[in-house]
Structure 1
Amino acid sequence: MTKTLGKFAGRMLLVGCGNMAGAMLDRWLAAGLDPARVAVVDPVAEPREGTAHFTTLADWQAADQSADWIMLGMKPQQLGDVAGELAAVAGGAVHLLSILAGVSLADLAVRFPEARAQVRILPNLAARIGAGVSAVTSTGDADSAAIEALLKPLGEIVALPDDGMMDLVTAFTGSGPAFVFRLIEAYAAAGERLGLSGDDALKLATATFGGATALLARSGEKPGALVAQVASKGGTTQAGLDILDEGGELVALMTNVLRAARDRGRELADIARGDD
């Protein structure tokens, strides 16, 4: 069943509409968001049918546009370039939404002190098909029902009490799809090395990962319990698991991957604040 926007209403401005913001917008439009109530400011992105498209904030303002919801979807390094001009229109009843990696609620409150609420959202690319996950936290007088209605069409929602863990969540779920895609790519490459054709290896790998994650999500069982249902003592699966589990190296590798992504998020936050 297609999830709709329910209680969400108002006019939305997207400042930046790259891959992630564009995926969110496409999903919202598919869920019934009126494109006539959406404006995009982005000098590079392709216009979406029915939405107003501007290359600069000045052009948007000159067209006598207004917004109840403003979402920051550009690169975090560009926050300083737009914050001053945008702060003038991000006040009163406006919800200021941000998907910027590393930019905290405190940073947003300093940049946009007159906004009704500052809302930090960390989605991932699977939002494009309504199968993503969005972590969300906010400060100020946030309309939680409208925010939930906005995020439901994108997939699962995880509400965090504060944004203290948002840098890790950015790495864990925001960057996570890329890590999964790389694992699938490596799994397929290994199959190809051992004799499968490239096309067959990728098809089999995609179906294997997709089926396994779907089963995990629907069964309600822990991963280890499902592992036990596949593996048997002395069997083929256990032989492979012995390699994966050796020395705890797989967990160590993934820890290092997430640590690197998390730390880069913190570096981006320093750049956005103008820190050395």
Structure 2
Amino acid sequence: MDSPAVIAHRGYAGVAPENTIAAAETAAAHDETTMLEIDVQPAACGTPVVIHDERLEGTDTRDGRPLTDTTGLVWETPLGEIQTARVLGTDETVPTLAQLLEAIPETVGVNVELKNPGTTDLRFGESLSADDRDDRREVWTPFVERVIDDCATFDGELLFSSFCEGALAALREIAPRYAAAALVWDDLEAGLEIARRYDCEAIHPPRNAISGTPLADTEYAGFGADEPKIDILEEAHAEGRTVNVWTATNWRQFEALESAGVDGIVADYPELGTYSSAR
């Protein structure tokens, strides 16, 4: 069995301040790292910045810490203020997408998650009607154009993913040459519909959505502790799609997903596959 690709979640958020240049450099320094996963949103001027939550202080604390020492909605905050915001009590700051891409070697791929175009109305995780698709594509288009512009000089592998159908619709219209992935939240059928609609090269389900694993009996990412009704691994592979699963936080989860035959594992820590019996 081939080992799954290891995708560093926010730059291995378990060992470095997430979505920072330090995290990206840490992830790239590990030989096992196939790809770096990051999140992008616009600053007030539209410049793509690398940050996960819609608020600078975070919508949830990380072990009691705010995400940064600055507050406010990301897309309402001037770029200069965002760039000086320190992440998780460290001296690391929020980078622009362009700055982060310049800091990593092109031997490491980048999974750019299109997180938010600058709105609280995201239509998150939904499979949309035709009219709604057009509307949401228009909402996302200006931001996706800025992201694509910033990625133009990066010669490494790029994969764009999103929980929002509008983002994928905009990507396919603006830059169909790039690989796309539908991120799945609480509805496997919707995720597959979106992946099929945009002929996505990949689909990214949560770790408990993989049938036949111990993880399927746990609550996570909007799914209850029940065996999935759809074998998303079988369905996606039958359609020629890569299945990258998020997020492994320990070696036992990694082992279960590797044994199931997933193609990639988004991980919070490096070297989680060290003790896997599937190797």
TM above 0.5, one fold? no
More helix per residue: 1 or 2? 1
TM-score normalised to the size of structure 1?
0.32
